[in-house]
Amino acid sequence: MSEAPSGADLGRRLRDGDLSVAPAVLNLVESRPAQEAGEVEALLHEVAPGALGGEARAHVVGVTGPPGVGKSTLLSELVRAWRERQRSVAVLAVDPSSKRSGGALLGDRARIVSDPADRATFIRSTAAGDRLGGLAPATRAAAQALGAAFDVVVIETVGVGQSETEVAEVADTVAVVVQPGSGDVLQFLKSGIMEIPDVLVVTKADLGTVAQRARRDLLATLRSIGERATQVVCVSSVAPVQGFDQLIDALDAHRAGLDLPARRLAARRAGAVADFHAEHGDRGLRALGGRRAALRALDEEDPALEVPALTRALEARAGAT
Amino acid sequence: MSDHRLPERDRPWMMRTYAGHSTAKKSNELYRGNLAMGQTGLSVAFDLPTQTGYDADHELARGEVGKVGVPVAHRGDMAALMDGIPLDEMNTSMTINATAAWLLGLYIVAAQEQGVEAGALQGTTQNDIIKEFLARGTYAFPPAPSMRLIADMVAYTVTEVPKWNPINICSYHLQEAGATPVQEIAYALSNGIAVLDAVRERVEPSLMGKVFSRMSFFVNAGVRFVEEHAKLRAMGRLWEEVGRTRYGVEDPKQLRFRYGVQVNSLGLTENQPENNVQRIVLETLGVTLGRDARARAIQLPAWNEALGLPRPWDQQWSLRIQQVLAYETDLLEYPDIFEGSRVMDGLVDELARGARAEMAVVDEHGGAVEAVAYMKAALVDSHRERLGRIESGEQVVVGINRYADSEPSPMAEGEDGGILTVDPGVEAGQREELARWRTQRDDAAVAQALDGLRRAAADDTENIMPATIEAARAGVTTGEWAHALRDAFGEYRAPTGVGEAAASVPSQDMERLRDEVERVSEGLGRRLKILVGKPGLDGHSNGAEQIAVRARDLGMDVVYEGIRLTPSQIVASALQEGVHVVGLSILSGSHRELIPDLIAGLREAGVEAPVVVGGIIPEADVAPLREAGVAAVYTPKDFDMGVIMGDIVALVAQRNGVGASA
C-alpha cells in the first residue's frame, strides 16, 4: 500500500479546497484513536477556526428520520439539486451496526444516485459502531474536517429520538424526514421526546392531499407548542420530482439566520465531551461533575481550539480533581 | 374400457429449449435446427441489453451483447430471428419482462411482414416485473409504471391478440433465489393477484373471466420431486380459489391453473456435472407425473449450465430427455395417478395451508407490489438457510458435500472446454449494424413515433401498445423505446434485501472467523471493509447477497449497492468508501470484458485493494483474470462460504502486512 499522507498535510490540502483528499481523510479519522490520535489532531488543527481564520465554510446539514421514510432517495434528489447550484457536497451516511457481530451492511449509498465522474460529490458510509442509533465516533471529526473544503456536508442517520439530538450537536441545520401519516412524530414533538428540528420534510408529496394534510398537522402541532420558526416542506423523490428548491431555500434560510460561530463552538464542545465520555466512561464524566459541568468548564477554553485539544483539557481537569 | 386407462394417449406437452445467443441470424439457425430435432415450440433468450432496454452501444451493454441471449434492437433483428419460421403456426415463448411490450410490438410487426395477422399469434411474453424486483434484476422502470405496462399489455392482447398469453408469472426465479415451496406458491399467486387487480381497472368487467384464463405461470421444479408435484397441485387449488372468490370467475376452463416449467438450475453442480442429468430427469417427473397438475410446456436446462453456456449438443440431450419421457414411457396413458393418494393429499393440504398464511402476510403489506421489500428479505433469509444446511452437511448434495471424490470426467474436456463461447467480435458487429440501421431509416417517422410514445407514456389512461407498435414499425430501436419510457417514468433501484436479512446463527467456524476479522481489523486500524459489487447488466444477485450478509455476520463493514453498476461507479465507491477488498460477482459471461477494465480503473484511481471474483467463470478464463490482477476466482463448486470468507480475510491481512494469528 502506498504511504498515507500525514494528518497535517491532509488538513492543509482541505484548507486549499482539495476535494480529492476526502477518502484519505475518512480513512484517517476512522482509525482507532490509539494508533492515529496524533495525526487526527494535526488534521483537525489545520482546519480549526484558528487556522482557517474563521468558521469552516460548509453548511453542515443533518438529515434524520425513522427507517423506511425514503431518506436516501430524498438525499439522492437533494444532492442533485445542490450540484445543479454548483455546490460541492459530501455525504456521511451512518448505518446501524449489528449488535451481534459488530459488522454492518452499508446500504444507503445504493440509493444515492450520483455521477461517478463528478469529483465534487463524495459519499461515505460509516457504521454507527457501538453507539446505539447514534453517530459513528469518526463522523464528528469527518464533518469538521470536510467542512473546510466542501460547500455542503450532510450527516445522514436513522432513527427518531436519540439520533437527531446527537446530529443537532454537530450540524448547523437539522432536517427531520417524515412520511405522511406518521403520528408518532407528532407525539414525539408534543411530548418533548424529540427535539424540535430546524426543518421538517414530508415525503411522498406525489400523494397530494395526504402529504398536504400531514404538513398542516405538523404545522398545527408546532404552533401548539409555540414553535413557529420550523419550516415544513413537502417533497416528492419520484417523478414528477418536486419540492427540492423549496427545501434548499428552507435549509439556506435557517443557516442564514444562525449565529454560526456560537453553534459551531457548541458543536465542538459537545464533541469533546462525547469523545471524553467514549474514552473515560461514566466514571470519568462523574469526576468532572457530570455532562453539564463539563460543558461549563469548556466555556473557559479558547473558542478556536479543535476538539482533541478540548478533550485533552477535560482530561487534565479530570486528572486534577 | 377401464377407468385406470385413458381412452386415448394424451398429447405431450410443448417441448422447448431456452435458446439464443450472438446475433439474430445465428439464433435463427439454432431455432431451425432445434425444430428439426423435434422441438415443438420456441423459447427465446434475449441478451441482457435487450432485456433491460439498452442498445448495444450503451455503456452498460459493454461485454453483454449476445452473451446470455440474442440481441434484438429493432424490427429488422426480429424479422431475421424469425426468418423462415411460420409465425401463424409457431408457439413462441419470450423471456422478456421490463421491455415485454416492446418485444411483443416487434413480434407483431415481424408477423405482419410475413403476412400473419396479430390475431393468429400464439405464445407467451414473460412480463412478470415483481419477480424481476425480487430475484432476476432485469427491471427498467419503477413499480407503478411497470405494473401499468403489464396491465396495458393484458388489456390489449385480450382483444387484439387473443391467443397470446401476455404474462407468465414466474415462480421459477423465486426458487432460484432460495424460495421454499410455500414461499414459491404464495409469492407467485400474490403476484398474479397484483396483476389482475391492476388489469381490472383497465378492462370491461365482462372480460375478467377471459383475462383470468390468459394468465399463465412459469414454475420451478427442484429435485425433491414428490413435494414439488404436490406444490403444483396446491397452486392449482389455490388459484382456482382466487379466481372464484376474488374475481368471480365461474367457468372451470377459465379457472384452470396453466403453467410451463423450466426445472431447477440452482441445484445443478459444477463438480461431477454429469450428475445433473439425473437431477433434471427427476425434476421433470415432478412436473409430469400427475395428470391433474401436468405442465403445458417444458424446457430443461443443460447438464453443464454451472460451467458456462451450453452447446447445441448439450441442449439436444435435454430435449431428448423430454422425448424419451413423452414418447417411450407409458406416462401419458393414464388418468391422474395420485388421485386418492393419502400422501399426496396430505402434502397438498400442508403446502396450501402454509401458502394461504403467507399470502395473508403479503396482503397485510398491501399486496405484492408493496411487499417487495418484505418478500425479498424473506428470500435472502431462506437462501441463507439453504446454504447453511449444505455447508453443515444437513442437506446432501451428491458430489459436493458427500461423495465428492470423482474419477476424471471425459465430458468436460475437448477443445471447447465443454461449453459454448460467444465470439467476442459479436458486440462490435452488432454496434456497426445498429449504426447502419439508424442511417437507413426515415428519421422523421422515428421522431414522430417517439413523440407518440412519450405522449402515451405520460397519459396514464392511454394504452402503451398502439404507440409501441407504431414505433416498432417506424424503425425505433430497443434503447430508444426504453429511453423514452425512462424519461417519462423515472428509474428505479430495487431493494437488495440484505439489510433486513436475519443474522446467521453462528457456528464454531463462524465464531473463529469473527475473532479473526476482529484481530485483522485491529491490525488495520479500522474495521475490515469490503465492497461487494455486481458490474454489468446481470441481475442474478443471489450469490452477491449471500456474500454480503455473511460478511456482515462475520463482523465486516459491507458496502453493497445492488445490481447493474458500471465499472466507473464501482471504482468511485471503492475509492470513496476506503474499502480493504473488492468482491465482484458476474454470472452473465461478461467478466472477460468488464473485470480487467475495472481493475485498471481502480489502480488508476489509486485504490490498491485486492479484487476477488465469483460467478460462472469457465476454467479457461481463470488464468487471464489472474493475469489482469484478480487475487482469487470462485465458481459454483466453491460452495462453502466459510472457506471463501476465510480466504478473503487472510488476503486482506497479507496485503496490509497484518501478521498471522499467534
Pick the closest to residue A269 from A311, A315, A318, A317 (CA basis).
A311
Domain-embedded: residue B111: yes
d(CA B587, CA B563): 12
Domain-embedded: residue A194: yes
Asked if B489 has any chain A CB less than 8 Å from its own CB, the reply is yes
DSSP track, B39-97: --SEEEEBPHHHHHT--TTSGGGTTTTTSSSB---SHHHHHHHTTTS-TTT-EEEEE--
The predicted structure's pLDDT at residue A132: 45
B146 contacts B354 by C-beta, under 8 angstroms: no
Contact between chains at B499 and A26 (C-beta distance less than 8 A): no
Asked if A132 has any chain B CB less than 8 Å from its own CB, the reply is no
**How many domains is chain A partitioned into structurally?**
2
Averaged pLDDT score across all residues of chain B: 93
pLDDT in tens, A232-244: 999 988 777 889 9
Domain-embedded: residue B577: yes
Question: How many residues make up chain A in this entry?
Answer: 321
Domain-embedded: residue B472: no
Mean pLDDT lowest among A152-166, B169-183, B304-318, B550-564: A152-166
d(CA B142, CA A204): 15
The predicted structure's pLDDT at residue A150: 98
Q: Of A231, A258, A285, which residue constitutes the final position of a domain?
A: A258
CA distances for B584 relative to A139, A190, A219, B379, B498, angstroms: 28, 48, 48, 21, 16
Domain interval for residue B558: 508-655
Domain-embedded: residue A308: yes
Helix (H, G, I), strand (E, B) or coil at A37: helix
> Which residues lie closer than 8 Å to B56 by C-beta, 6 or more apart?
B49, B65, B71, B73, B427, B430, B431, B434
> ipTM for the complex?
0.90
The residue-averaged pLDDT of A119-128 equals: 91
pLDDT in tens, B382-398: 999 998 899 889 999 99
Distance from CA of B535 to the nearest CA of A (A): 13
The predicted structure's pLDDT at residue B95: 95
The predicted structure's pLDDT at residue A162: 63
d(CA B229, CA B590): 36
Statement to judge: residues A309 and A190 lie in one domain: no
The neighbour count for residue B660, using CB atoms within 10 Å, is: 8
Contact between chains at B560 and A106 (C-beta distance less than 8 A): yes
Statement to judge: residues A209 and A242 lie in one domain: yes
The neighbour count for residue B224, using CB atoms within 10 Å, is: 16
Mean pLDDT lowest among A204-208, B10-14, B239-243, B341-345: A204-208
Pick the closest to residue A153 from A177, A173, A132, A130 (CA basis).
A173
The predicted structure's pLDDT at residue A172: 95
Domain interval for residue A300: 262-320
Statement to judge: residues A92 and A222 lie in one domain: yes
Top pLDDT among B251 and B419 is at B251
Chain B CB contacts of A100 below 8 Å: 503, 506, 553
Statement to judge: residues A272 and A233 lie in one domain: no
Backbone angles phi, psi at A61, to 5 degrees: -115, 125
Statement to judge: residues A153 and A218 lie in one domain: yes
Statement to judge: residues A272 and A153 lie in one domain: no
Q: Exposure of B652 by Cβ count < 10 A (0-12 exposed, 13-18 middle, 19+ buried)?
A: buried
Grid cell listed for B98: 421490463
CA distances for B93 relative to B134, B199, B322, angstroms: 22, 21, 18
d(CA B302, CA B297): 17
B143 contacts B117 by C-beta, under 8 angstroms: no
Chain A CB contacts of B555 below 8 Å: 98, 101-103
Asked if B566 has any chain A CB less than 8 Å from its own CB, the reply is yes
Q: Of A228, A258, A288, which residue constitutes the final position of a domain?
A: A258
Query: Of all residues in chain A, what percent are helix, strand and coil, respectively (each to 5)?
Result: 50, 15, 35
DSSP track, B496-521: -S-TTPPPP---HHHHHHHHHHHHHH
Mean pLDDT lowest among A83-87, B498-502, B613-617, B640-644: B498-502
Distance from CA of A37 to the nearest CA of B (A): 11
Statement to judge: residues B103 and B252 lie in one domain: yes
How confident is residue B291, by pLDDT bands cut at 50, 70 and 90? very high
Domain-embedded: residue B34: yes
Mean pLDDT lowest among A100-109, A121-130, A231-240: A100-109
Chain A CB contacts of B517 below 8 Å: 103
Report the CATH number at residue A169: 3.40.50.300
Statement to judge: residues A144 and A211 lie in one domain: yes
d(CA B35, CA A287): 86
* A320 pLDDT more than 70: no
Which run of H or of E encompasses A176? Answer: strand A173-178
* B1 pLDDT more than 70: no
Chain A CB contacts of B494 below 8 Å: none
C-alpha count within 13 angstroms, C-beta hemisphere, residue B497: 29
Statement to judge: residues A94 and A233 lie in one domain: yes
Chain A CB contacts of B552 below 8 Å: 98, 101, 103-105
Grid cell listed for B252: 372451470
d(CA B78, CA B85): 12
Q: Which among B489, B557, B655 has the least Cβ separation from residue A103?
A: B557
Contact between chains at A31 and B526 (C-beta distance less than 8 A): yes
> In chain B, which among 126-145 make CB contacts under 8 A with chain A?
142
**How many domains is chain B partitioned into structurally?**
2
Contact between chains at A109 and B573 (C-beta distance less than 8 A): yes
The predicted structure's pLDDT at residue A319: 82
Statement to judge: residues A75 and A184 lie in one domain: yes
- Tell me which range, A167-171, B232-236, B511-515, is most confidently predicted by mean pLDDT: B232-236
The predicted structure's pLDDT at residue A34: 58
Domain-embedded: residue B439: no
Q: DSSP secondary-structure letter at B6?
A: -
Contact between chains at B558 and A125 (C-beta distance less than 8 A): no
* A133 pLDDT more than 50: no
Burial A234-247 (b: 16+ CB within 10 A, else e): bbbbbbebbbbeeb
Q: Exposure of A78 by Cβ count < 10 A (0-12 exposed, 13-18 middle, 19+ buried)?
A: buried
Q: Provide the percentage of residues in chain B whose pLDDT is more than 70.
A: 98
d(CA B107, CA B46): 13
* B434 pLDDT more than 60: yes
* A2 pLDDT more than 50: no
Distance from CA of B618 to the nearest CA of A (A): 30
Domain-embedded: residue B553: yes
B359 contacts B189 by C-beta, under 8 angstroms: yes
Grid cell listed for B214: 390468459
Grid cell listed for B55: 442498445
pLDDT in tens, B543-600: 899 999 999 999 999 999 888 888 999 999 999 999 999 999 998 888 988 999 999 9
Q: Of A224, A258, A292, which residue constitutes the final position of a domain?
A: A258
Per DSSP, helices labelled H in B338-496 are 342-364, 372-392, 425-440, 443-458, 464-474, 478-489
The predicted structure's pLDDT at residue B367: 95
Task: Give the distance between the most distant pair of CA atoms in chain A.
Answer: 61
Q: Which among B514, B525, B556 has the least Cβ separation from residue A36?
A: B525
* B155 pLDDT more than 60: yes
Report the CATH number at residue B643: 3.40.50.280
Helix (H, G, I), strand (E, B) or coil at A316: helix
The predicted structure's pLDDT at residue B190: 97
Contact between chains at A102 and B489 (C-beta distance less than 8 A): no
Grid cell listed for A241: 420530482
Q: Which among B496, B517, B575 has the least Cβ separation from residue A110?
A: B496
Report the CATH number at residue B76: 3.20.20.240
B467 contacts B454 by C-beta, under 8 angstroms: no
Domain-embedded: residue A1: no
The residue-averaged pLDDT of B243-257 equals: 96
Statement to judge: residues A220 and A288 lie in one domain: no
Q: Which among A104, A123, A124 has the least Cβ separation from residue B552?
A: A104
Distance from CA of A112 to the nearest CA of B (A): 10
Asked if B493 has any chain A CB less than 8 Å from its own CB, the reply is yes
Statement to judge: residues A253 and A269 lie in one domain: no
Asked if A26 has any chain B CB less than 8 Å from its own CB, the reply is yes
d(CA B40, CA A92): 57
Q: Which among A22, A27, A105 has the least Cβ separation from residue B552?
A: A105
Which positions of B are catalytic? 18, 172-173, 534, 538, 540
Pick the closest to residue B171 from B158, B161, B183, B162 (CA basis).
B183
> In chain B, which among 568-627 make CB contacts under 8 A with chain A?
568-569, 571-573, 575-578, 606, 608
Statement to judge: residues A277 and A237 lie in one domain: no
Angle at A124 between CA A247 and CA A108, to 5 degrees: 65
